Structure 1
Amino acid sequence: MSLHDSYLDTCHLFIFDLDGTLYEDTKHFDHFAYKLKDKLPKEEHESFLRDFTQVKEGLHPLSIGKVYDTKEDLFWTWDPFTEKISNPESWNGEQVERSSDEPFPASTFDFDRWIAIGDGWWPPYVLARHYGLPMSECHKAYDETKVDMSSQKGWLTETPGLRSFLEEIKKEKTIVLMTNSEATDVDRLLKELNLQDLFHDRITSATKPVQTSEHFHELLKRYKIKPEEAVSIGDNFMNEIAPALQYGMHAIWLTPDESNIEHEKLHPVRSLTDIL
């Protein structure tokens, strides 16, 4: 795949995610998990780490793509196209007799009771909530992790060729950064990645996926772009990919796994280097 593939050549608005996209490192997820563990009572540490190991090995119902209900302690399968939830499972992986035919739109996700597990940040968060850690303490651990990532060496790896790629497409196309990270974190991370001052526009604290479609609408309107002339690039299917496809945009999905989802405007890649 290259920038001169037909759909990329005709796209005029490129909307990039930050975490997991402009850098593809994953070891900070473990760092985040251990910070959360340390905020729990010591008697919960062993169980937390056992479950975290099972999650990473794919042996736990907690997995990316699911929705977690903290009140009922259940995992639901969420279809981002029909926006319905189904097949609830208990923490131990047992099927639960529940049904729901009502739409469950992205706006329902408050990340307090209903948590969309869209990428590697969320499994540690869900584990911590299951073991009783308040949302406020989870956010503290997240903020501490972000500070470590931007202030300590070794957490972030520059994607070879990415800066020159962005500089080149910026000459003729509009590039926007849209991320759930806060502005101060974004400044630090972009500086560490040598990607500062490259984007025409930035949307920070974007509250994806709840407000993803709203942001897309505003950006297309602002830059007078048709949906089919825009592409969303990210690693989180719930946050950046499904909303783009629903809107009629193209979507480049960074996923290490073989995609079983077929859509004429969906373009899975294993790494951003595949389009550089």
Structure 2
Amino acid sequence: MGKVYLFDWGDTLMVDFPDQSGKMCDWEKVRAVDGAKDTLAHLSKTHQIYVATNAADSTEADIKRAFERVGLSFYIHGYFCKANLGIGKGSPAFFQKIIEKLNVPASEMVMVGDTIDKDIDPALQAGISAVWLNTLGVNTSPHDDYRQISNLTSLIE
């Protein structure tokens, strides 16, 4: 099996609607991010896929239910969140716990997320390579530490 891919949840795999509140699995409307299904379907053929989220109010089962509603759960091996790791996502310790739980070297993992301070920096500090999903086209200087993409399907091109 190839690398292990960790994906952020909100605005990386599923749209985080600002007008909705509470657990995403209970929202009136849920939607996968454009390209999410094609990307996960392709990557899951040769890689294990996990969700690594900072969602504090959702359990692992709640998160899975949200992904079932948009047809993505089939591609996902598991879900890491504050509820099952005991720690929020903004630190390298969150990623260290995932490394321990999966018993996979950090060098075999890739974190894909849309937030530098919560997704990219802590993953890099834990030794995991990272891909920043910059859908808003935020202008930044080129970075040698991580790859930058503007849409999910760039991962498989």
Pairwise TM-score range, normalised by the shorter structure: 0.7 to 0.9
The 1-side partners of 2:54 and 2:92 are apart by: 14
Structural RMSD (CA):
2.8
Structure 1: unaligned runs, 5 residues or longer: 1-10, 33-141
What is the correspondence of 1:92-171 to structure 2 with a 5 Å cutoff?
142-143=21-22, 146=24, 149=27, 151-152=28-29, 155-160=30-35, 162-171=36-45
Q: Does the CA contact (< 8 Å) of 2:64 and 2:79 recur in 1? A: no
> Normalization by structure 1: what TM-score?
0.46
Q: Does the CA contact (< 8 Å) of 1:227 and 1:247 recur in 2? A: yes
How many pairs were matched up?
Answer: 148
Q: Does the CA contact (< 8 Å) of 1:12 and 1:225 recur in 2? A: no
Q: 1:20 to 1:158 in 2, by over 3 A?
A: closer
Which residue in the other structure is 1:176 paired with? 50
Cα drift, residue 194 of structure 1: 0.6
> Normalization by structure 2: what TM-score?
0.75
Which residue of the other structure, out of 74, 89, 112, is the alignment partner of 1:197?
74
Aligned residue type for 2:46? E
Taking only the aligned residue pairs, the percentage that are identical comes to 22
Q: 1:249 to 1:165 in 2, by over 3 A?
A: same
Cα drift, residue 217 of structure 1: 1.4
Q: Does the CA contact (< 8 Å) of 2:111 and 2:123 recur in 1? A: yes
Q: Does the CA contact (< 8 Å) of 1:244 and 1:250 recur in 2? A: yes
User: What whole-Å deviation, never above 9, does each CA across 1:90-135 have from its counterpart, x for those lacking one?
Assistant: xxxxxxxxxxxxxxxxxxxxxxxxxxxxxxxxxxxxxxxxxxxxxx
Cα drift, residue 200 of structure 1: 1.8
Which residue of the other structure, out of 3, 11, 16, is the alignment partner of 1:20?
11
Cα drift, residue 157 of structure 1: 4.3
Greater Rg by CA: 1
Aligned residue type for 2:152? L
Q: Does the CA contact (< 8 Å) of 2:25 and 2:63 recur in 1? A: no
